[in-house]
Amino acid sequence: MPDELRPDRSGVVFALEKRSPDAAGHEGACIVGRSVEGEHVFEGWAATEAFAMFKREGSLPVWQASDRFAALMYSPK
């Protein structure tokens, strides 16, 4: 990942996880971007580009998560 996506710079930690961060989500590998500085970080350039990159790659579900919510951003067909 690019240096701009370090959590101390982007405010988001990206990880490959075994299950979705949502109680209603399915088990199975997924990519989760977790906010470490509040939901506003998802609007930043670095986070937006990282989520777009994971969506383009297209093999795993992509989630955005914070302490208040989890949202599925992409699900492979």
User: 44-61 pLDDT, tens per residue?
Assistant: 998 999 999 999 999 999
DSSP structure class, residue 26: P
Task: Report whether pLDDT(27) > 80.
Answer: no
CA distance 27 to 20: 6
Which of 5 and 47 is assigned the larger pLDDT? 47
- The pTM of this model reads 0.86
**Whole-Å CA distances, 57 to 23, 37, 66:** 25, 26, 23
Q: Position of tokens 């977790």? A: 34
Cβ atoms within 10 Å of 9's Cβ, excluding its own: 12
Q: Is 37 helix (H, G, I), strand (E, B) or coil?
A: coil
- Phi then psi dihedrals of residue 72, to 5 deg: -75, 120
- Every domain of the chain and the residues it spans: 3-68
Percent of the chain with pLDDT over 70: 95
